[in-house]
Amino acid sequence: MDKIRIVGGNPLNGIIPISGAKNAALPLMIASLLTDETLTLENVPRLADVRQLTNILVNHGVDYGVNGKRQGEGLLTGQTVSLTARSITDTTAPYELVSTMRASFWVIGPLLARMHAARVSLPGGCAIGTRPVDLFLMGLEKLGANIDVEGGYVVAKAPGGLVGNRVVFPKVSVGATHVIMMAATLAKGETVIENAAREPEVVDLARCLSAMGARITGAGTSTIVIEGVDRLRGARHRVVADRIETGTYAMAVAMTGGDVLLEGAEASLLEAPIEVLRQVGTEIDETNSGLRVRRNGAGIVAADIVTDPFPGFPTDLQAQFMALMTRARGTARITETIFENRFMHVAELARFGAHISLEGQVATVEGVERLKGAPVMATDLRASVSLVIAGLAAEGETVINRVYHLDRGFERLEDKIGRCGAVIERISG
């Protein structure tokens, strides 16, 4: 099992290209099930989750191809892939494939919409809370699906096809918004999703579906309206920049000091984190090429955050911000409102010498003058990269174990920050 070794203390200086968003690429790939024509996606990140979803789509009969390199395309800049679901050969998504990645459950929407039947294993993924699928199933039932749970599988049928309806989510869910929006594109009549997720990845999916012939309005607001069509066509679409990767590297620069251009980053995708980073003492400027992030030798000051659905502070940046606050002047309060079990990184950050106390869903971080390198264990995707951020600033050597979590969401991380002066290497095991 691979490990990552870091020797801390170096500022970051240079250029880090920002990959396409994993959280956008996955639903976009799943959308290929809605048409018998080819969907071509540019700027797809090279990630373990993308490879796993590819296996799932191939199981359903999707032809998958990676195109030859386009101008400017390299190992750090994403890839172009083509997906063709000319005929869906299997409407079952088996446990051995779905159990490793939660987002793979989302195939239930397109399969039900196009084939009027789906049998999908209940999902797996990071252990950061229960994240039940009740909202998905409620939404699909509103569209006329008959749903049973049998032997760990959701069995969904809509013999006459899905029918548009009003779907009101009791709480915001990005995944459920993705699934119902995809399913509704081929439903008969109009579907209105209320209390929909407003995340940029939802907007990106809506843009792609619209290019495929879907009729969607309101994406990016809390009310999305979809007028169903008989069929969707193929399209070409570029995956939006990864706002979580952008925020992660911005926090790494804030932690270590230095001057880095986050190439391809879009400020509009993460206004709340940028505001907080400026508040703690980081300079962030928009340029024609992306975002320039700088921190001089003055250090950073503590700030409080509360995670919230977009446009609030993303839960996927909470662990990284906590790592940053371990070296801040003062005390920071971090309140997690999205997932009930997303503080597993606290114990690992304490191994660096961080002072963090927990009370319910609130973590209080008292900044310390220095961190010391240590052997640590990644517990989930975002927690793993928080350990990288701490290791970059810690004195001495840090070894991060179980980095397969990291590979699920960060494309060639050690190469990207290594080119900017970090002493970091992957140790194959």
Top CATH class, 3-18+241-427: alpha beta
| The residue count for the chain | 429
Q: How far is CA 344 from CA 340, 341, 350, in A?
A: 11, 7, 11
Tell whether residue 174 is among the known ligand binding residues: yes
208 is catalytic: no
Domains of the chain, by residue range, sit at: 3-18+241-427, 22-238
Look-up of token digits 């391809």 = 264
In this prediction, residue 130 carries a pLDDT of 45
Q: Does residue 389 surpass a pLDDT of 50?
A: yes
Tell whether residue 70 is among the known ligand binding residues: no
Which amino acid makes up residue 392?
L
Residue in 340, 341, 342, 345 with CA at minimum distance from that of residue 325: 345
Taking the domain 22-238, which CATH number applies?
3.65.10.10
In this prediction, residue 29 carries a pLDDT of 98
The residues, any chain, with a CB within 8 Å of residue 197's CB and separated by 6 or more, are 172, 173, 174, 176, 177, 178, 309, 310
List the catalytic residue out of 57, 97, 108, 126.
126
Q: Express each pLDDT in 218-238 by its tens digit.
A: 999 999 999 999 999 999 999
* Contact (CB, 8 A) for 378 and 410: no
Question: Which ranges of 191-291 would DSSP assign to H, the alpha helix?
Answer: 200-211, 243-256, 271-280
Of the pLDDT bands very low, low, confident and very high (cuts 50, 70, 90), residue 78 is: confident
In this prediction, residue 68 carries a pLDDT of 53
Tell whether residue 380 is among the known ligand binding residues: no
Q: Examine domains 3-18+241-427 and 22-238 and report if their fold is the same.
A: yes
User: Residues 368-375: what's their mean pLDDT?
Assistant: 97
Tell whether residue 135 is among the known ligand binding residues: yes
Residue in 222, 266, 224 with CA at minimum distance from that of residue 247: 266
The model's pTM is 0.94
